[in-house]
Structure 1
Amino acid sequence: MLHEFSRTELLIGRQGLEMLARSKVAVFGIGGVGTFAVEGLVRAGVGKLVLVDDDCICLTNINRQLHASRKTIGRPKVEVMKERILDINPKAEVTAYQQFYLPEAACQLIHEDYDYIIDAIDTVTGKIDLVIRAREKGIPIISCMGAGNKLDPTRLEVADIFATSVCPLAKVMRQELRKRGIPSLKVIYSREEPLKPQETEATSCALGCVCPPGTTRKCTVRRQIPGSISFVPSVAGLIAAGEVIKDLIGGR
């Protein structure tokens, strides 16, 4: 009998579908990259998902984040994404943490039953700690580097962190991971040279912040807000989902 994942079954078979249905994937960061990663996972049949993000949807998210619309502005990102997952697959098990990832929250947010972690957060401290904790627990992880200030999604690549170049975030990650003796990390990064944001009074978050009420980390506290567009973070997120799915069924 045909079902919602019949076309996927044609590619990976019944055994592959069953493997994905049993798999538990945690996505840290439910923004431009993270929302599309989640979308790719749930539509492929991943049955258990963990969402981690403290943020609420903002007007400025509409240009690139899957869950952002006029109707969802001000709502927690993890709640809106959970609803979307269950609309696609009502049988999915979804755990949502409206929480900012910091090292002291690791015990609550990282569990040994995760089959994979996608790192789509944007703070170096959090990314480094997430990688270290995943390695300690033996959980596979893929980390997304900078998708802001880019216009060419064809320059995105999957590589080991120590084989990356160009990306400023990847450079910092290489340095920090080397200090900590981490020998490898699968990442998605872009070889496109970052563009310089063309900030004006009209586009400055510092001068015209529209963060919704309840936002814990307003854009005004950030040194610089990167420019973004619909088709770069989304592609990075879908690549992340693809890598996770291929790794999960590849080991079956």
Structure 2
Amino acid sequence: MERFTRIRCFLGEERFDRLQCRFVTVVGLGAVGGHVVEALARAGIGRLRLVDFDTVQPSNLNRQILALTSTIGRLKTEVARERVLAINPDCRVEALPLFADDRTAEEILAPPPDLLVDAIDSLNPKAQLLTAAYGRGIPVISSMGAALRADPLQIRQADLFDTRKCPLARRLRKKLKKSGVGRGIHCVFSTEDIDFDYQEPEDGVYPEVSPFDQRGRRRRVLGSLPTLTGIFGLIIANQAILQLAEDNPSPEEDPR
């Protein structure tokens, strides 16, 4: 198929054919997850399950690839599904407008995908999904915090338990340890110094940016660049593509 000529030339027929047989679940279709889906669709992944409970909001326009004036108010899952099929009509795409937590983990992860991409930006749902995936032995690539960062040269890949200088990863490790989760969760993170910790604000007030913010704990709005969040997503997708093209895919750690 001509649309995949360049990636066929790069990977070779055998490795590309593997991509077309792979099943990937992406949870979280925001600034990071949207770019993951875009790249996986353009790489020829054969089956995608897309999970997000939210709709496109005006505040998404600065950084989310799914956010256009024409898509505001629509479910992100449906917008993403349409975009994938516009790129590759042969892709099998499932759109699940679900909030990821203990109650929905079975629906999200069954049948088990070849790879789970976790692009959730909220701590508790992220921990619950990763715990469920870990217990089922599902390979994972997880995105840590991309907001507040400005230096792409400080983005790294490693096991979650080897990350450093990432407040989200630090809090996530604590939660996962309590649930019996150990090493084996590959992630993308930044070593850039930031002045932020995942704590409740003193006055208990959070700004509302989405009509669905009542799902889960309310969060502070963090500033972010369209470049850094997109780079996070493309690094995750790049790792996923190379991993899934192999016979026995396993993530490699960043040696830096």
TM-score (norm 1): 0.89
Query: Is 1:147 aligned to 2:155, yes or no?
Result: no
Mapped contact 2:33–2:119 kept (Cα < 8 A): yes
Structure-2 change in CA distance of 1:112 and 1:210 (3 Å): closer
| Aligned position for 2:129 | 130
2:243 counterpart letter in structure 1: D
Mapped contact 1:157–1:189 kept (Cα < 8 A): yes
Task: Return the offset for 1:218.
Answer: 5.7
Structure-2 change in CA distance of 1:45 and 1:166 (3 Å): same
Mapped contact 2:36–2:234 kept (Cα < 8 A): yes
Please give the secondary structure, in 2, of the residue aligned with 1:250.
coil
| Aligned position for 1:77 | 76
Q: How does 1:13-52 map to 2 (within 5 A)?
A: 13-52=12-51
Task: Return the offset for 1:136.
Answer: 2.2
Q: How many residues align?
A: 238
Query: Is 1:231 aligned to 2:227, yes or no?
Result: yes
Structure-2 change in CA distance of 1:218 and 1:69 (3 Å): farther
Q: How does 1:69-108 map to 2 (within 5 A)?
A: 69-108=68-107
Query: Is 1:57 aligned to 2:56, yes or no?
Result: yes
User: 5+ residue gaps in structure 1?
Assistant: 197-203
| Aligned position for 1:199 | none
Query: Is 1:188 aligned to 2:184, yes or no?
Result: no
Distance in 2 (CA, whole Å) between partners of 1:167 and 1:132 is 19
Task: Return the offset for 1:194.
Answer: 2.1
Task: Return the offset for 1:247.
Answer: 1.3
Distance in 2 (CA, whole Å) between partners of 1:85 and 1:195 is 37
Query: Is 1:164 aligned to 2:163, yes or no?
Result: yes
Task: Return the offset for 1:132.
Answer: 1.9
What do the CA deviations read for 1:122-171 (whole angstroms, capped 9, x no partner)? Answer: 22222122222212222101111111111122211101111111110011
1:36 counterpart letter in structure 2: H
Mapped contact 2:206–2:219 kept (Cα < 8 A): no
Mapped contact 1:29–1:52 kept (Cα < 8 A): yes
Mapped contact 2:206–2:220 kept (Cα < 8 A): no
User: 5+ residue gaps in structure 2?
Assistant: 197-204, 249-256
Mapped contact 1:112–1:139 kept (Cα < 8 A): no
| Aligned position for 1:200 | none
2:137 counterpart letter in structure 1: G
Please give the secondary structure, in 2, of the residue aligned with 1:159.
strand
2:31 counterpart letter in structure 1: G
Please give the secondary structure, in 2, of the residue aligned with 1:127.
helix
Distance in 2 (CA, whole Å) between partners of 1:168 and 1:244 is 24
What do the CA deviations read for 1:8-66 (whole angstroms, capped 9, x no partner)? Answer: 01111111111111111000000000000001111111010000001110111011100
Distance in 2 (CA, whole Å) between partners of 1:34 and 1:244 is 13
Structure-2 change in CA distance of 1:72 and 1:134 (3 Å): same
Distance in 2 (CA, whole Å) between partners of 1:223 and 1:241 is 26
Mapped contact 1:150–1:195 kept (Cα < 8 A): no
Distance in 2 (CA, whole Å) between partners of 1:6 and 1:100 is 37
| Aligned position for 1:216 | 212
1:235 counterpart letter in structure 2: I
1:243 counterpart letter in structure 2: Q
What do the CA deviations read for 1:60-100 (whole angstroms, capped 9, x no partner)? Answer: 10111001011111111111111110000001110001111
